[in-house]
């Protein structure tokens, strides 16, 4: 993957996330963690290579089916991306509204979730009146509110204290226990150590294999996120043909 005519940011990435797995993604600042997440949540297409999501090659997915895929993915953006004109409650409820749920149904659930992340008193606050950490917790609440099949979190604890960080980790682990595939890009060593989950390290555009207990590999049905960006330059070796099986990606 590359931005415009800039050098490639990600190369030779071969990543398969097993459904229900929990990974951390680390790497120096600027390594391409956010870019990799962007590929997975379909904000950017790969300049070459193959991305399979929930068993489908996303280049073959019809444009009108993309929203359905996106609704199964929750994202905590590094820069939060809250809507400034909506209250905390409305920001968190956004994915539910988009999915067509009725306000009366979801309101209490959303308020409960906000209380859980410590914003129970600020339901009607606008994001611009929240502190940095409060905004971050709001973004996290929005990402998890509709129990996504895949949760991508980009530096979700950069603005909160340790206690809140661990609380958020517990929230992610709880979701994971319920079947959500979790991928967290972070610099927070303490978080990584506490969680004891496999760590993927991205450096120089390449992905190192998981450091701690490797993710189980195998054919599996159900939710599945697969990101891949194959080399394109003629000097690089051509990407191997992906196996036609319904499961993993390759290259």
Partner 1 sequence: MTGLPAQAPARRWRPGPLLPVGEGRDRALSFVIAVLCALACLTAILALAADRAASGWRTQISASATVLVRPGRGQTSSEAAAAAAEALAGVPGVTEARALDRADALRLLTPWLGGGVLPDDAPIPMLVAVDLDPRRPATSAALRAALANAGVQAVLDDHSRWLGDVERAALIARSAALGAGALVALAAGAAVAFATRAGLTSRRDVIEVLHLSGARDGFISGLFERRFAWLAARSGAYGALAAILLAGALKAFGGQDGFTPLLPLQWSDLLAAAPCPLAAAGVAVVSARRAALRVLRAPSQA
Ligand X SMILES: Nc1ncnc2c1ncn2[C@@H]1O[C@H](COP(=O)(O)OP(=O)(O)OP(=O)(O)O)[C@@H](O)[C@H]1O
Binding site residues, its own copies, CB under 8 A: 3, 26-30, 33-34, 78-79, 118, 129-134, 136-137, 154-155, 158-165, 187, 189-190
Q: Are 172 and 11 in contact (CB under 8 A)?
A: no
Torsion of CA 233, 236, 241, 243, to 10 degrees: -120
> Strands 52-53, 206-208: parallel, antiparallel or unpaired by DSSP?
unpaired
State yes or no: residue 221 binds Mg ion (CB under 5 A): no
State both tokens at 102. 């009725």
162 binds, among ligand X, partner 1, its own copies, none (CB under 5 to 8 A by kind): its own copies
**By CB under 6 A, is residue 134 in contact with ligand X?**
yes
Q: Does 35 bind ligand X (CB under 6 A)?
A: yes
- Give the C-alpha separation, 92 to 139, whole Å: 7
Answer with the entry of its own copies, partner 1, Mg ion, none that 64 interacts with (C-beta below 5 to 8 A by kind).
partner 1
- Three-state SS at 154: strand
Residue 211 touches partner 1, criterion: CB under 8 A: no
Token pair in block for residue 133: 């950490």
When asked if residue 8 is in the footprint of ligand X (CB under 6 A), the reply is: no
Could you tell me if 74 and 41 are in contact, meaning their C-beta atoms sit under 8 angstroms apart?
Answer: no
Closest separation in Å from C-beta 132 to Mg ion: 4
Query: Which is nearer to ligand X, 96 or 168 (by Cβ)?
Result: 168
Q: Considering the complex, state which of residue 59 and residue 208 has its C-beta at the smaller distance from partner 1.
A: 59
């Amino acid at each position: 993957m590359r931005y415009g005519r800039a050098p490639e940011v990600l190369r030779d990435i071969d990543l398969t996330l097993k459904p229900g797995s929990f990974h951390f993604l680390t790497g120096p600042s600027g390594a391409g963690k956010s870019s990799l997440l962007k590929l997975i949540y379909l904000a950017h297409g790969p300049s070459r290579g193959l991305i399979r999501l929930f068993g489908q090659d996303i280049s073959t997915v019809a444009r009108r089916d993309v929203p359905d895929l996106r609704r199964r993915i929750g994202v905590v953006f590094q820069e939060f991306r809250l809507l400034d004109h909506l209250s905390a409650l409305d920001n968190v409820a956004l994915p539910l509204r988009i999915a067509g749920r009725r306000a009366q149904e979801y309101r209490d659930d959303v308020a409960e979730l906000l209380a859980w992340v410590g914003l129970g008193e600020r339901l009607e606050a606008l994001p611009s009146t929240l502190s940095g950490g409060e905004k971050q917790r709001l973004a996290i609440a929005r990402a998890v509110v509709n129990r996504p099949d895949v949760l991508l979190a980009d530096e979700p604890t950069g603005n909160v204290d340790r206690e809140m960080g661990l609380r958020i980790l517990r929230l992610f682990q709880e979701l994971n226990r319920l079947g959500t595939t979790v991928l967290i890009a972070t610099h927070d060593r303490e978080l990584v150590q506490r969680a004891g989950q496999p760590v993927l390290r991205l450096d120089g555009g390449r992905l190192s294999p998981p450091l701690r207990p490797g993710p189980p590999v195998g054919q599996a049905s159900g939710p599945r996120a697969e990101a891949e960006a194959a080399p394109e330059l003629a000097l690089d070796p051509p990407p191997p043909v992906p196996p036609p099986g319904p499961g993993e990606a390759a290259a």
